Amino acid sequence: MSSNSNKRRRANDPESYRSKNDKKPRTPSPSEWTDIGKTPSPTGSEELAMINALTLSSPDRPSLRKISPVPYLLTTDPLIQVLGLERLNKDGYINLDSVSKPDPGFGYGKHTTPAVAYRTYKKTNTIDADGEQDFAVGEDSYIHPIFFRDRWETQELASSSSPYWEELKPVWQLATLLLEEKVMSGYIMGMLDRSSHTEIKTRFDGHAVHWFQCKERPSKQELWLLWEDLWDLKNCIKWSALEITEERHRGVSGTTKVDRSVSGLSKHGVGSKIVINENILSILCGRINASDFSKPWSPGTDNPSARLRLQWSLATTMVHELMHALWLARHGTTSIEPFFRDTRFSELGWQWETLIYGGAIAPTSDRCEQPYGLQIQNWPGGITHVRYPTLQNVGPEPPKVIELFPVEMSWVADFFKQSFWDFVERYGRPGIICPVPAEGVPFTY
């Protein structure tokens, strides 16, 4: 593992997280865009036609397996033990009274975001020199190309003859908003900028270990470089289904696997295949219902509510895994994921979730199909047994008791409403953080 350079770049240096081994030069800043003489990229309709041509039904793409749901209920789950399913439901943590359709264009409002303006430039080579046009965002810009159907290997989501990718557009749209959310851009920049990382006096499997912090007040040019990385990352990853063949897989929503057949973003970077739990995909594609995994209880799991919950969770899981894929694409497999400040664990995906939501959100009853709702806790909390690096011997001691809090379904539903994103635009990260009751349910590790 190569150590960080002793020289730090200036804080306002737009190349601060670029390695000298990076394959591609940076995208010119908007002040330079007007001098570009390249042939314009395909229009939205031409691009869609190209994608459809590439994603016709193919026998080489695996289909989702037929699932035989097994109902389950983890009766030792603290929320279920203390509160019970009926009370959790009555208080708004499992079923909604009704499920509304997502607001058209939720998250974008009347005007574009700078990140969307950048994507518009990449597709069309047309944008004002200052990069800050006020134009209405068209539907073809709601979704980042990293989530397009041509990135999928699973037949149901890759084939243009299948309706499921179109039906799940709210998921891809929400994932795009989370990926490009400006309140998290400093986290991603700090994560990628190894020249700013500080080495820790400990080793993991013989490798040096580092910690980082968020990039404060990134410049426009630094943001453009970040958006370029996210744009180019689409060529470094594939999405597929995780087949549940072992008991340990049942609680895994998604995971990122190294794919050395695909190039990364730098000389040392590698590609990734991100696999999503097949039960989640089967439910969202209408093959089975979340209630099929539920034990009998009153009034029972409402499938529209559970589907909405899974849509939100899938979007979150995809961005969680993209944090790992981005690290691999930029720095490869020989560089250990860094710690965020003095956090006891090094896990870039969970750290992203903790910063944006205020904690780690997981299914109540510990299964990915989520028939009983969600819960949130401080991360890493009292967890001690993990496969990734831990600083528990040199950092803060883990607590013996933590609190678990149920997640309001109304908060989950709000992510698909424009009013929610208007609030986030005004108040920033506090507008996203998950609200919790005054008191939680204690859990002893």
User: What are 408-428's pLDDT values in tens digits?
Assistant: 999 999 999 999 999 998 898
In a domain, residue 192? The reply is yes
pLDDT at res. 393? 55
- Sequence-distant (6+) residues with CB within 8 A of 148 are 51, 172, 234
In a domain, residue 21? The reply is no
Please say if the pLDDT value at position 110 is more than 90. Answer: no
In a domain, residue 19? The reply is no
The DSSP letter of residue 314 is: H
Percent of the chain scored above 90 by pLDDT?
A: 63
Please say if the pLDDT value at position 384 is more than 80. Answer: no
- Which contiguous run of DSSP H or E holds residue 178? helix 169-180
- Nearest-angstrom CA–CA distance, 430 and 415: 14
In a domain, residue 379? The reply is yes
In a domain, residue 4? The reply is no
pLDDT at res. 205? 76
pLDDT band at 77 (very low <50, low <70, confident <90, very high): very high
Average pLDDT, the chain: 84
- Which neighbouring-strand residues pair with 375? 362, 406
In a domain, residue 5? The reply is no
| Lowest mean pLDDT segment, chosen from 13-22, 23-32, 106-115, 160-169 | 23-32
pLDDT band at 334 (very low <50, low <70, confident <90, very high): confident
Angle value at C-alpha 369, between 388 and 310, nearest 5 degrees: 90
Q: What is the mean pLDDT of residues 345-366?
A: 95
Q: What is the mean pLDDT of residues 33-42?
A: 30
In a domain, residue 11? The reply is no
Q: Which of 137, 144, 138 is nearest to 111 (CA)?
A: 137
Q: Which of 67, 57, 371 is nearest to 243 (CA)?
A: 67
Please say if the pLDDT value at position 20 is more than 90. Answer: no
At which residue do the structure tokens 């709702």 appear? 373
pLDDT band at 394 (very low <50, low <70, confident <90, very high): low
Domain that holds residue 194: 30-444
In a domain, residue 20? The reply is no
| Lowest mean pLDDT segment, chosen from 44-58, 139-153, 267-281 | 44-58
Q: What is the mean pLDDT of residues 47-58?
A: 38
pLDDT at res. 380? 85
Report how many domains make up the chain: 1
Please say if the pLDDT value at position 24 is more than 60. Answer: no
Percent of the chain scored above 70 by pLDDT?
A: 80
Q: How far is CA 72 from CA 346, 366, 386, in A?
A: 32, 10, 25
pLDDT at res. 135? 60
Please say if the pLDDT value at position 117 is more than 90. Answer: no
pLDDT at res. 204? 77
Q: What is the mean pLDDT of residues 394-409?
A: 82
pLDDT at res. 325? 98
pTM value is 0.85
- Nearest-angstrom CA–CA distance, 292 and 307: 12
Q: What is the mean pLDDT of residues 338-359?
A: 94
pLDDT band at 248 (very low <50, low <70, confident <90, very high): confident
Structural contact between residues 428 and 397, judged by C-beta atoms closer than 8 angstroms: no
Please say if the pLDDT value at position 192 is more than 80. Answer: yes
pLDDT at res. 35? 28
